[in-house]
């Protein structure tokens, strides 16, 4: 029976303020209305997640909010921290102490910040989205494909187990998708750090986003499975493809990513996470749904794990996986 993995997580968006302005985005807020989470609020969510049996905490935020002087002032006065990275570092330390493994994706951050966060994360992530120059990214400087490929390479240099992926239907062509997958494959062949590649269909009702058909999505998943080495899982977010999950699994999907019973998918708030029971009913008996850590088991080795993460894994009895 084919095993389909997922991670039981909680999604904590530190702030939705972002210097980019991607035309399909439904997450971003302006400075005046932006959400900013304090460490105390984060801690209470972490405890709730632990009680609910989660193993992973996903920390995320808009891209480089600290670049705005006004944001920095507001952030400092509301949280007491000088930067988002400083607050997330403290939150990751707290999560490890409670017995949750952090997976952080703060967009493109500088090398020094990546190095600091790597110390307290089991894995990290950044969507490549596409290697094509698309109009949807004209107002989003960090969506430059070379910048993102360079960042994913830096994660490889730092030996961080890494999640990336393609955002599909944002104006890229079929050949761009092949190039994007090839670029990720080249990075993995060099650093060996990619644990999964997400194939995420854009869900935008805004003008200019036709999205992708089920057939196109299945073909792309098949292509991703062909191009990426077998140890790299192909993932699809189940809330974005719930009606066709079996077809997508048949095309090559083997992982459903983080699923939260406590928080929304803040990136696609109108698409609720399916309940695990619902997923099980949908997939069994052909497929077996199996929980995993945010670090895939083949990365549970000394060279891929920092000391604080190792200590937390050992304390929870997860050093060899679930």
Q: Which residues bind ligand SF4 (CB under 6 A)?
A: 18, 20-22, 25, 27-28, 62-63, 107, 140
Q: How far is the CB of 162 from ligand SF4 (least distance, A)?
A: 18
Helical ranges in the chain per DSSP H: 39-51, 69-79, 84-98, 111-118, 145-157, 174-191, 214-227, 245-251, 276-283, 307-316
Q: How far is the CB of 148 from ligand SF4 (least distance, A)?
A: 11
**Cα–Cα distance for residue pair 245/241, rounded to 1 Å:** 6
- Three-state DSSP class for residue 166: strand
Beta carbon nearer to ligand SF4, 28 or 159: 28
Beta carbon nearer to ligand SF4, 109 or 295: 109
Beta carbon nearer to ligand SF4, 24 or 304: 24
**Cα–Cα distance for residue pair 159/262, rounded to 1 Å:** 31
- Three-state DSSP class for residue 127: coil
Q: How far is the CB of 269 from ligand SF4 (least distance, A)?
A: 13
Q: How far is the CB of 5 from ligand SF4 (least distance, A)?
A: 26
Beta carbon nearer to ligand SF4, 21 or 97: 21
Q: How far is the CB of 63 from ligand SF4 (least distance, A)?
A: 4
Return the structure tokens found at 15: 């702030």
Beta carbon nearer to ligand SF4, 151 or 318: 151
Interacting residues of 51 by C-beta distance below 8 A, sequence separation 6+: none
Residues 167 and 176: beta-carbon distance below 8 Å: no
């Amino acid at each position: 029976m084919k095993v389909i993995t997922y991670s039981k997580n909680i999604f904590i968006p530190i702030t939705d303020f972002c210097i980019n302005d991607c035309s399909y985005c439904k997450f971003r807020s302006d400075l005046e209305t932006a959400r900013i989470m304090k460490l105390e609020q984060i801690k209470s969510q972490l405890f709730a997640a632990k009680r609910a049996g989660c193993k992973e905490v996903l920390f995320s935020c808009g891209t480089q909010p600290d670049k705005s002087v006004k944001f920095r002032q507001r952030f400092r006065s509301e949280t007491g921290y000088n930067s988002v990275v400083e607050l997330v570092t403290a939150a990751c330390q707290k999560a490890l102490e409670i017995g949750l493994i952090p997976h952080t994706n703060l967009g493109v951050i500088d090398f020094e910040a990546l190095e600091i966060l790597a110390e307290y994360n089991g894995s990290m992530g950044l969507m490549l989205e596409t290697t094509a120059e698309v109009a949807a990214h004209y107002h989003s400087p960090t969506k430059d494909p070379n910048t993102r490929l360079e960042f994913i390479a830096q994660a490889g240099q730092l030996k961080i187990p890494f999640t990336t992926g393609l955002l599909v239907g944002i104006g890229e062509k079929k050949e761009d998708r092949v190039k994007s997958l090839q670029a990720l494959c080249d990075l993995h062949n060099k650093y060996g750090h990619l644990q999964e590649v997400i194939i995420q269909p854009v869900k935008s009702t805004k003008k200019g986003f036709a999205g992708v058909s089920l057939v196109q999505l299945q073909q792309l998943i098949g292509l991703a499975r062909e191009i990426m080495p077998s140890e790299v899982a192909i993932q699809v977010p189940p809330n974005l493809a719930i009606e066709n999950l079996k077809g997508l699994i048949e095309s090559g999907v083997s992982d459903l990513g983080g699923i939260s019973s406590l928080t929304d998918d803040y990136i696609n708030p109108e698409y609720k996470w399916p309940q695990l029971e619902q997923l099980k009913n949908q997939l069994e008996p052909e497929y077996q749904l199996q929980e995993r850590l945010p670090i895939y088991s083949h990365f549970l080795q000394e060279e891929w794990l920092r000391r604080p993460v190792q200590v937390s894994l050992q304390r929870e009895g997860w050093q060899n996986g679930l």
